[in-house]
């Protein structure tokens, strides 16, 4: 018996050793072309994936096929290196050892690394016309004569050039939290609103103008314009009695809902008032002073009582009405267990990918409860790629992401007063050239960085990821090739206002996580207990929106704020 055990142990050890050595020996991605110069592109291995690089790779390589960058070699090979290390934490202290020359990171603070000389100065890339060739050192007659800088918003320009008026990084992805809805389900069940506020009676009937009150922006037509309409919609979905869930989210990612609540607050407050929460430089024009006898908020809009906001009194921002309305939205949603996935909404084993899977697959499997709406990030469709692929293999091409119809549900307004959309763009999606790049590859890396921001590459990016880069560009005819989700992304890219979390304020630079990471933005003390997530407080302890809102200021007192944020 002992001999058998011994043999088994030796065998297992050999298997592990072979597996380990084969892993060490394996080249990542495609084979190295020894006769070409390699440019390694690091991409955060997350929801957005790296397909977009493969989509532009061939074109970029062809552009320099006849150029020699190293002796004895001709042409360039882009090598994609996906990794989850391309984040702030993953790069702090390690970036010097990274072999990737160009990196597209997530959750990283551009100014942190730039001020420590970890990124290459790319001012020339950002300010030169896009038809200037960094490799050949010449400007071509054709191509785009505009600069990348001209495609950026003023806020982006300020932020990305804050260190000595030089650019070290570029914004790479326009991401935000939102509600995704299943258009097919809405059409099949007449869940759109008619202009008179009732539900349409057939899919082709005229729909209401949506929350923005504009008939010409068709992407939101028929969608609930107010909170009341939204919850009437939830009730109708429940009343259909077809094993549907109005809203779903991943139970182990409560921060998704918290982030979505920040998006609700931003849509209410608008760009300037929202960005106060990140730049701490301006005037708060609207805030809740108390609640009346009916529990409604009393809002001060008196110009004489405006509150100047600095890093010293940021706690005042926790009185902004948008926060309360976000809380009241979630309170109404969680007040009826039929409106959301009650049993899994706080489950640690139910991930956002599980929620995506159920959202996408339940159309084909009647045993699954089918969600009508999903709270997620706008990159969800890229993240759910494997689910779509499985479905295509089983159900055919009609089940693909390209052919399924999903749309974004713009946040309904508090009242019937129509208005434009303000989206809260997530921070930390940046592209840069690694400061430790070999000097022989600098021009090539700059050329690639620049290429990523040409209209052609931007369009490919949107076609592949179904989201936009946060710079201005037109999709042209390629718009028609997009999935219905991709189309709404482009529609909002062009029509919505964007509030940015990026800020070069000292407080934001020193305490960024405490000021943008949503779980840290909803601390509230109610009955002596501190909550992190409004959802769990409301679901588990039935905390009201009003109490939770008052609890925000009970947590963020002047003393707590000053103890936490020092030397700002």
By CB under 8 A, name the binding residues for another protein. 87-89, 107, 109, 112, 115-116, 251-252, 254-255, 343, 346-350, 506, 509-513, 517, 519, 525, 528-533, 536, 540-541, 555, 557, 559-560, 563, 566-567
Q: Where are the beta strands (DSSP E) in 71-230?
A: 76-83, 102-105, 132-133, 138-139, 170-171, 177-182
Considering beta carbons, is residue 186 or 533 the nearer one to another protein?
A: 533
Select from 217, 227, 153, 223 the least CA-distant residue to 181. 223
Decide whether 109 or 381 has the Cβ nearer to another protein. Answer: 109
- List C-alpha distances in Å: 106 to 258, 279, 449, 494: 19, 21, 16, 23
Closer Cβ to another protein, 142 or 528, answer by number? 528
CB of 474 to another protein, least distance (A): 35
Q: Which residues pair with 307 in a beta bridge?
A: 284
- Alpha-carbon distance 397 to 387, whole Å? 13
H-run or E-run covering 291 = strand 287-291
Of the pair 140, 530, the CB lying nearest another protein is at: 530
C-alpha angle 397-51-73 in degrees, rounded to nearest 5 = 135
Residue 502 beta carbon to another protein: minimum distance, rounded to whole angstroms = 14
Using the minimum distance from each CB to another protein, give the nearer residue, 255 or 376.
255
CB of 483 to another protein, least distance (A): 31
Enter the DSSP assignment of 390.
H
CB of 447 to another protein, least distance (A): 31
Q: What does residue 177 show for φ and ψ, rounded to 5 degrees?
A: -90, 145
Nearer to another protein among residue 144 and residue 354 (C-beta): 354
- Distance of closest approach, residue 543 Cβ to another protein, in angstroms: 12
CB of 300 to another protein, least distance (A): 26
Task: Report the alpha-carbon distance of residue 257 to residue 353 in Å, rounded.
Answer: 15
- Closest to another protein by CB, 220 or 331: 331
Q: What is the dihedral of CA 545, 550, 553, 555, to 10 degrees?
A: -80
Residue 251 beta carbon to another protein: minimum distance, rounded to whole angstroms: 7
Dihedral angle over CA of 19, 20, 22, 27, nearest 10: 130
What distance in Å separates the CA atoms of residue 59 and residue 519, rounded to the nearest whole number? Answer: 42
Between 64 and 104, CB nearer to another protein: 104
Count of C-beta atoms within a 10 Å radius of residue 434? 23
Closer to another protein by Cβ: residue 307 or 560? 560
Helix (H) or strand (E) run with residue 353 in it: helix 352-361
Residue with tokens 């001012």: 123
* Cβ-based neighbours of 244, under 8 Å, separated by 6 or more: 185, 237, 238, 369, 370, 371, 372
Closest to another protein by CB, 461 vs 531, is: 531
Least distance between another protein and beta carbon 323 (Å): 19
Question: Between residues 117 and 474, which has the closer beta carbon with respect to another protein?
Answer: 117
DSSP of 214-251, one letter per residue?
-SS-GGGTTS--BHHHHHHHHHHHHHT-SSEEEEE--T
Q: Which is nearer to another protein, 204 or 367 (CB)?
A: 367
- DSSP bridge pairs for 298: 290
Handedness of CA 148, 150, 153, 158 (dihedral sign): positive
Is the CB of 163 or the CB of 203 nearer to another protein? Answer: 163
Nearest approach, Cβ of 6 to another protein (angstroms)? Answer: 16
Least distance in Å: CB of 337 to another protein? 10
Q: Taking a C-beta distance cutoff of 8 angstroms, is the pair 217, 491 a contact?
A: yes
Q: Are 448 and 194 in contact (CB under 8 A)?
A: no
Nearer CB in complex with another protein: 410/551 = 551
Could you give the CA distance from residue 284 to residue 193 in angstroms, rounded to a whole number?
35
Hey, what's the torsion of the CAs at 439, 444, 449, 451, to 10 degrees? 170
Q: Is 349 exposed, middle or buried (0-12, 13-18, 19+ CB in 10 A)?
A: exposed
Strands 170-171 and 282-284: unpaired
Q: How far is the CB of 537 from another protein (least distance, A)?
A: 9
Least separation in angstroms between CB 505 and another protein: 11
- 358 closest CA partner among 373, 342, 347: 373
CB of 169 to another protein, least distance (A): 16
Minimum distance from CB of 512 to another protein (Å)?
5
């Amino acid at each position: 018996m002992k001999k058998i055990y011994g043999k088994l142990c030796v065998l297992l050890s050999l298997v592990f050793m072979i597996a380990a050595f084969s892993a060490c020996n394996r080249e990542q991605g495609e084979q190295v072309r020894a006769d070409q110069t390699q440019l390694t592109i690091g991409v955060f291995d997350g929801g957005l994936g790296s397909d977009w690089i493969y989509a532009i790779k061939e074109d970029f390589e062809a552009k320099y096929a006849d150029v020699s960058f190293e002796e004895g070699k001709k042409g360039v090979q882009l090598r994609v290196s996906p990794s989850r290390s391309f984040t702030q934490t993953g790069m702090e202290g390690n970036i010097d050892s990274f072999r990737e020359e160009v990196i597209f990171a997530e959750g990283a603070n551009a100014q942190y690394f730039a001020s420590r000389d970890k990124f290459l100065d790319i001012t020339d890339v950002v300010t030169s016309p896009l038809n200037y060739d960094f490799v050949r050192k010449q400007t071509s007659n054709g191509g785009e004569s505009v600069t990348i800088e001209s495609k950026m918003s003023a806020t982006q320009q300020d932020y990305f050039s804050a260190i000595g008026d030089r650019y070290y990084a570029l914004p790479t992805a326009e991401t935000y939290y939102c509600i995704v809805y299943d258009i097919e389900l809405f059409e099949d069940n007449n869940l759109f609103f008619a202009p008179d506020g009732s539900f349409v009676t057939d899919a082709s009937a005229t729909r209401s103008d949506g929350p923005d009150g504009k008939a010409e922006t068709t992407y939101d037509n028929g969608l609930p314009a107010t909170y009341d309409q939204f919850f009437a919609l939830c009730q109708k979905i429940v009343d259909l009695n077809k094993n549907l869930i109005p809203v779903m989210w991943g139970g182990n990612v409560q921060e998704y809902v918290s982030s979505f609540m920040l998006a609700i607050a931003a849509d209410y407050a608008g760009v300037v008032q929202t960005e106060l929460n990140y730049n701490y430089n301006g005037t708060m024009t609207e805030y809740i002073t108390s609640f009346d006898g009916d529990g409604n908020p009393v809002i001060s809009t008196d110009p004489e009582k405006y509150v100047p906001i600095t890093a010293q009194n940021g706690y005042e921002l926790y009185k902004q009405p948008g926060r309360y309305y976000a809380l009241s939205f979630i309170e109404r949603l969680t007040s009826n267990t039929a409106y959301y996935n009650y049993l899994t909404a706080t489950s640690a084993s139910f991930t956002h990918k599980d929620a995506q899977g159920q959202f996408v697959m339940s159309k084909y499997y009647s045993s699954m409860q089918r969600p009508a709406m999903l709270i997620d990030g706008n990159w969800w469709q890229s993240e759910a790629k494997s689910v779509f692929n499985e479905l295509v293999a089983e159900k055919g091409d009609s089940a693909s992401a390209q052919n399924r119809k999903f749309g974004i549900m713009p946040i309904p307004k508090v009242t019937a007063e129509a208005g434009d959309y303000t989206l809260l763009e997530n921070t930390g999606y940046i592209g840069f050239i690694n400061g430790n790049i070999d000097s022989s590859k600098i021009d090539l890396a700059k050329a690639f960085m620049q290429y990523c921001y040409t209209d052609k590459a931007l369009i490919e990016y949107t076609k592949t990821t179904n989201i936009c880069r946060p710079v201005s560009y037109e999709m042209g005819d390629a718009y028609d090739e997009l999935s219905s989700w991709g189309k709404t992304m482009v529609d909002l890219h062009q029509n919505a206002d964007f509030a940015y979390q990026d800020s070069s304020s000292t407080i934001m630079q020193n305490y960024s996580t405490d000021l943008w990471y949503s779980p840290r933005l909803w601390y509230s003390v109610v009955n002596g207990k501190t909550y992190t997530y409004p959802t769990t407080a409301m679901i588990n302890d039935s905390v009201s929106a009003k109490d939770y809102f008052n609890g925000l200021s009970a947590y963020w007192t002047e003393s707590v704020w000053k103890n936490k944020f020092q030397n700002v």
